């Protein structure tokens, strides 16, 4: 029970034990546990990141759908207005064409009337001259009475 | 028990026989071979188990023995972190783990029936064998002394030599009672390793002694009616003390470890943190 050299032997043994425990038990296990801690932390942060990314993707999807809807509405409105425009254009051009045709026809009618009038007046003048020759019994020089005939024709 | 009966009996002789080390050498140069051999065997058991666990470590989902080892490791780590906080020192945790496991195993030898190993070894011609290394003052004081040397080392390393001397001069009563301070602090510092070593030794020694006394209940008894009373009583007492002693050995190993951590933690506190 006395303190002997055993004390020093046990001290050496103790120091050796600390070294061995550190070398074979503490160091490998604690580094492994640290690695595990790291792995768990990484996994958790990865899942957190995944969640965040999912949220972002969802938001983006919603945004895209919204934009698509807006675009569709816009396109629809555009198409509507364009169709109205086309319709108007067609109507206008049809109207214009119709007016043009009518105007042409009227002009033609006018011209025909004029020509008929001229023809008529020519014939009337001939008729008048002929009539007058018959009445007078002699030839009337149309050239001499040209002025009076023209006056007559103009009065028809 | 037969080992003692052959020598003619006598309870004092029986107890003394059990408290004698197997040793070589004389006086100071006595080497307690049983203490050294048993502690080294238990130490190599720890190292062997550590190597076995360390060889195939499972990072993902550990099982079985690795779980248990990890639990002990984390328990020790928590104790160290509680005491040290951010002042990290890579030596403390392995030291504490060594103390906890090694001291526990050495204490555990106390639970082996007191006569079993001496009787077995007597059969092969060995007279004395004290199987519990922690009932040898040399073991407990060796560890306590090493812890003490470490506290001195870290005191000087952290506080500086001047700071360490200052601690003796101005602590606990300030600068007007320097002589008293020196005496007080010296006693305080020296009491740490002595109480640390003696506490473990005392507990284990007393525990061993109680086992011996229980064993003595039927010591040298002949087959008689009285044995019908003493034998069951011995069994009951032995089991009761055994169960209680499981608590004691665990507690003592834990206390040794915690005090080591605390003493070393105090050594790491600098003057301005007081």
So what's the pLDDT on residue B31? 87
Say whether B77 and A7 touch across the interface (CB within 8 A). no
Residue B50, CA distances (Å) to A82, B44, B100, B252 in order:
85, 9, 14, 22
Express as a percent the part of chain B with pLDDT over 70: 95
Say whether B97 and A9 touch across the interface (CB within 8 A). no
Distance CA A13, CA A16 (A): 5
B169 touches chain A (CB under 8 A): no
The 10s digit of each residue's pLDDT in B189-227 is 999 999 999 999 999 999 999 998 888 887 766 777 778
So what's the pLDDT on residue A69? 96
Q: Measured between CA atoms, how close is A47 to chain B, in angstroms? A: 17
So what's the pLDDT on residue B6? 45
Mean pLDDT of B10-20: 83
Mean pLDDT of A110-129: 87
Distance CA A152, CA B10 (A): 188
Claim: this prediction has a pTM higher than 0.80: no
So what's the pLDDT on residue B44? 93
The 10s digit of each residue's pLDDT in B23-68 is 888 888 888 888 899 999 999 999 999 888 888 777 777 778 888 8
Residue A40 CA to its chain's centroid (Å): 53
The interface predicted TM-score of the complex, written ipTM, equals 0.84
* CB-CB neighbors (< 8 A) of A11 in chain B: 142-143, 145-146
Say whether A6 and B74 touch across the interface (CB within 8 A). no
Mean pLDDT of A96-113: 94
To the query of whether residue B107 is one of the catalytic residues in this protein, the response is: no
Interface test with A, best of B29, B59, B208, B253 (most A CBs within 10 A): B59
Say whether B59 and A9 touch across the interface (CB within 8 A). no
* CB-CB neighbors (< 8 A) of B49 in chain A: 25
Residues 6+ apart with CB under 8 A from A25: B46, B47, B49, B50, B53, B54, B69, B73, B94, B97
Mean pLDDT of A84-98: 95
Distance CA A24, CA B99 (A): 15
To the query of whether residue B199 is one of the catalytic residues in this protein, the response is: yes
A16 touches chain B (CB under 8 A): yes
Highest-confidence segment of B12-26, B38-52, B164-178: B38-52
- Cβ contact B99:B143 at 8 Å: yes
* CB-CB neighbors (< 8 A) of B54 in chain A: 24-25, 28-29
């Amino acid at each position: 029970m006395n303190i002997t050299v055993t004390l020093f032997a046990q001290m050496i043994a103790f120091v050796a034990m600390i070294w061995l425990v550190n070398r074979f038990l503490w160091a490998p296990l604690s580094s492994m546990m640290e690695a595990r801690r790291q792995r768990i932390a990484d996994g958790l942060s990865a899942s957190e990141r995944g969640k965040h990314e999912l949220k972002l993707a969802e938001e983006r999807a919603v945004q895209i759908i919204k934009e698509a809807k807006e675009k569709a509405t816009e396109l629809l409105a555009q198409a509507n207005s364009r169709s109205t425009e086309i319709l108007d254009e067609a109507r206008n051009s049809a109207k214009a064409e119709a007016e043009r045709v009518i105007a042409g026809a009227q002009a033609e009618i006018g011209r025909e009337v004029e020509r008929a009038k001229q023809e008529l007046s020519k014939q009337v003048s001939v008729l008048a001259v002929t009539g007058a020759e018959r009445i007078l019994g002699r030839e009337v020089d149309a050239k001499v009475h040209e002025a009076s005939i023209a006056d007559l024709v103009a009065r028809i | 028990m037969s080992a003692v009966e052959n020598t003619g009996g006598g309870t004092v002789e029986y107890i003394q026989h059990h408290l004698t080390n197997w040793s070589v050498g004389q006086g100071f140069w006595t080497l307690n071979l049983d203490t050294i051999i048993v502690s080294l065997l238990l130490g190599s058991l720890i190292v062997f188990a550590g190597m076995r666990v360390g060889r195939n470590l499972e990072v993902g989902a550990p099982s079985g023995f690795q779980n248990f080892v990890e639990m002990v490791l984390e328990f020790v780590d928590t104790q160290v972190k509680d005491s040290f906080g951010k002042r990290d020192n890579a030596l403390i945790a392995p030291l504490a783990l060594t103390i906890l496991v090694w001291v526990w195993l050495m204490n555990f030898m106390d639970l082996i029936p007191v006569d079993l190993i001496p009787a077995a070894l007597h059969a092969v011609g060995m007279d004395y064998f004290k199987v519990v290394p922690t009932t040898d003052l040399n073991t407990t004081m060796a560890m306590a002394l090493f812890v003490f040397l470490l506290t001195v080392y870290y005191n000087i390393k952290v506080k500086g030599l001047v700071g360490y001397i200052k601690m003796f001069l101005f602590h606990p009563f300030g600068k007007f009672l320097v002589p008293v301070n020196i005496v007080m602090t010296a006693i305080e510092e020296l009491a740490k390793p002595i109480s640390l070593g003696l506490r473990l030794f005392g507990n284990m020694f007393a525990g061993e002694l109680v086992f011996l006394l229980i064993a003595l209940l039927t010591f040298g008894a002949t087959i008689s009616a009285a044995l019908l009373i003493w034998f069951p009583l011995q069994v009951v007492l032995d089991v009761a003390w055994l169960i209680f002693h499981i608590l004691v050995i665990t507690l003592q190993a834990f206390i040794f470890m915690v005090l080591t951590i605390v003493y070393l933690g105090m050594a790491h506190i600098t003057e301005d943190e007081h």
